[in-house]
Amino acid sequence: MKQKLAIFASGAGSNAKKIIEHFKNSPVAAVALVVCNKPHAGVLDIAAAAEIETALIERDQYKKDGYAQFLKEKGIDFVILAGFLWKIPQPLIDAFPRGIINIHPALLPKYGGKGMYGAFVHEAVIAAKDAVSGITIHYVDEHYDHGDVIFQATCDIAPGDTPDQLAEKVHQLEHEHFPRVIEQLLTGK
Ligand code: GAR
């Protein structure tokens, strides 16, 4: 049976787009739902263009049960965070053991934690004059950017690279690897 994926995203949704495209005609899984907390986020347009159901969530209900019951009613098997910025509440973690993964735009455990997202991460990496950065795909637990690491990939930072240029390199890595790593997890291969 095809597994049903839910993507949680708060922003532009370029990763969501790649994942949707990857699983479009897949026998393994399909993106069944895009969950978003921002009414005007680009990811909602991406989902609409792909004719995928969307759910705009609100904070009180989210804090109560993380919409776990709603996801179960929709038959969701696996949850993917792709640029989603709210912390995952315990009831949602309990409802999907080893069933929620996140992508982070740096090499965890460096540059993780509350407030470390998107451009803030790349600004911190450039300010520290690091020579490499990259991506981390990891299981989600009750702490920000903390669960077991599934996959990492790196990119070089050239002297003079700006945070925007680094963001571009990191996005390329994300797009190249995230859909493939999800498929590997789902198939166990
Ligand atoms: C991605 O780079 C993702 O790694 C990051 O947000 C971006 C979303 O881009 N996530 C975090 O910073 C989470 N801490 P997208 O909306 O184009 O996919």
Q: Give the three-state DSSP class for 73.
A: helix
Residue range of the domain that includes 164: 3-187
Give pLDDT, residue 142: 86
Cβ of 41 closer than 6 Å to ligand 1, yes or no, is: no
* Distance, CA of 86 to chain centre: 11
Nearest partner of 43 among 69, 68, 7, judged by Cα:
7
Give Cβ neighbours of residue 158 (< 8 Å, ≥ 6 apart): none
- The mean pLDDT value for 155-161 works out to 97
Atom of ligand 1 nearest to the CA of 104: 4
- Backbone dihedral angles phi then psi of residue 155, each to the nearest 5 degrees: -135, 150
Ligand 1 centre from 84 Cα, in Å? 7
Position 125, amino acid: V
Total count of domains within the chain: 1
CATH number for the domain including 42?
A: 3.40.50.170
pLDDT surpasses 80 at 189: no
Helix (H, G, I), strand (E, B) or coil at 185: helix
171 part of the active site: no
